[in-house]
Structure 1
């Protein structure tokens, strides 16, 4: 019997056309897209399905991603597949909260729309992010601490891939030190700001205020938080974790390792792309990974899990 986790990708995996076949073929998925548009006042279908530049702008990307992921999630749930735990990378944590029952769809869409706006507004000039390849996360964190200026770890993705974030000059200086410390490559990322850096603390503060209007529901299925890489089962903890997440490191590798250590052996990535499955293979090659990205994937995964 498989022990299943649902996992949800974050910003950067988006593309034009994501979720369109779900909208056209699955009634519950169509309802999700329609609700997201109604709640936010945006044309979510146009944003997700038709060629446009907004899909790659943070304030629009975030709501588009969560709407598409939730539409795919609902289609999978109709097959009777239930996870033991949920987790999402960065933005994907909001869809994990929907899957866990902590956020209802309306509140989640309202909150994610505001999060995207706040993060876009908070982006300082001169921010940067760089992927560090071929060096362990602990060494990278120590180098960042020694580097003059604002630079820290944004994402612990998987063994051999960690992302640093902060002031452009500090990130560049840290990258040179990391290459001297044994990193194979340091690859600057094309992003609009230093995400998951203390430089975006103001966005977290605004989000905290916005969450006063949001009610967190009882958590039916535990989820693993980015900030702590630990299970969350108390609804009282959710808001503070979401506030801290904006400016804190995403402990994705540690989150997956935690789930595996507790017996999870099957991970279903729900959302555009296969980024998380790529990380999973590097974290534990024995773990099974599936992907729900197209409507046709639903039947394939359901049949595979019944074997």
Structure 2
């Protein structure tokens, strides 16, 4: 069985998608549509913006989605997923790829999601860091003892956990974890994703999700908050909302996909981050990428 994976924020880079724009009329049409839907030139920011520009959530999220979606469209009838998953934002890319969402609805929902998150990040000093080389329970224990809000946000791979929270608490947790870890690194994102800091925007985001039309997807999606497959629209919408404050169970997701028959994984979108995670989780499956 063939599983397709879609990356999330943090995989953006200056110049992303420019080769697609230059070599495909279909791609140029989607970039134009995206510019019109968003009300600003995301193509200009992707092609000519700085790394700092693209780090901003309001630009990074639509840019990554657009890059991933156009790559799916270039595959045409060769895109035949048996199952899909997306890392954080990538979950919306995955749902669009399997026709649960149409392009315009997905991009509008992402724009709302990104704008809501950006407002939180503008009022709160928050961030994320990856901890490499420590067991989950150690990371969880240290975070629970820190004075302030910091918590695991992504369980990415064996002994690789991302933590998220306000900067003072995040630094304190990183300092406490660093002596026993292989490495502790701050991530190039503009806020505390998948943490209690997202609670103030849950109601507005839930409203946006409920007002968006979803269709039954053409294959199961393994969602971040459960690591389990579903094609149920009510479940999909509920999990999309919960994703704001719940950790991403990526390691568990990949293991469940493999247990359910996945033998080949293809990452579609900018970067190769998810490919690396799959290799760390299980070296016996085939992993490739389209970027």
- Asked if 2 retains the 8 angstrom alpha-carbon contact of 1:103 and 1:216, the reply is yes
Distance in 1 between residues matched to 2:201 and 2:61, nearest whole Å: 14
The residue that corresponds to 1:298 in the other structure is: none
- Asked if 1 retains the 8 angstrom alpha-carbon contact of 2:55 and 2:189, the reply is no
The TM-score with structure 1 as length reference comes to: 0.88
The residue that corresponds to 1:196 in the other structure is: 194
The residue that corresponds to 1:136 in the other structure is: 135
Q: CA deviation at 1:178?
A: 2.9
Distance in 2 between residues matched to 1:71 and 1:132, nearest whole Å: 33
Deviates more, 1:207-216 or 1:266-275: 207-216
Distance in 2 between residues matched to 1:228 and 1:131, nearest whole Å: 21
221, 224, 248: which one aligns with 2:222: 224
Q: CA deviation at 1:44?
A: 2.5
Deviates more, 1:52-61 or 1:4-13: 52-61
Say whether residues 1:81 and 2:87 are aligned partners. Answer: no
Deviates more, 1:213-222 or 1:19-28: 19-28
The TM-score with structure 2 as length reference comes to: 0.93
The residue that corresponds to 1:250 in the other structure is: 248
The residue that corresponds to 2:42 in the other structure is: 44
Distance in 1 between residues matched to 2:176 and 2:194, nearest whole Å: 21
Q: CA deviation at 1:147?
A: 3.1
Q: CA deviation at 1:131?
A: 1.2
- Asked if 2 retains the 8 angstrom alpha-carbon contact of 1:151 and 1:171, the reply is yes
- List alignment gaps of at least 5 residues for structure 1: 294-307
253, 259, 262: which one aligns with 1:261: 259
- Asked if 2 retains the 8 angstrom alpha-carbon contact of 1:131 and 1:189, the reply is yes
- Asked if 2 retains the 8 angstrom alpha-carbon contact of 1:153 and 1:164, the reply is yes
Indicate the SS of the match to 2:219: coil
Deviates more, 1:123-132 or 1:64-73: 123-132
| Structure 1 residues 223 and 166: alpha-carbon distance in aligned structure 2, compared to 1, 3 A threshold | same
Alignment of 1:13-24 (within 5 A): 13-24=11-22
Q: CA RMSD, aligned part only? A: 1.7
The residue that corresponds to 1:10 in the other structure is: 8
Q: CA deviation at 1:144?
A: 2.1
Alignment of 1:1-307 (within 5 A): 3-52=1-50, 53-76=52-75, 78-123=76-121, 124-179=123-178, 182-293=180-291
Q: CA deviation at 1:17?
A: 2.0
| Structure 1 residues 56 and 233: alpha-carbon distance in aligned structure 2, compared to 1, 3 A threshold | same
- List alignment gaps of at least 5 residues for structure 2: none
Indicate the SS of the match to 2:88: coil
- Asked if 1 retains the 8 angstrom alpha-carbon contact of 2:55 and 2:188, the reply is no
Q: CA deviation at 1:209?
A: 1.7
Indicate the SS of the match to 1:17: coil
- Asked if 1 retains the 8 angstrom alpha-carbon contact of 2:42 and 2:59, the reply is no
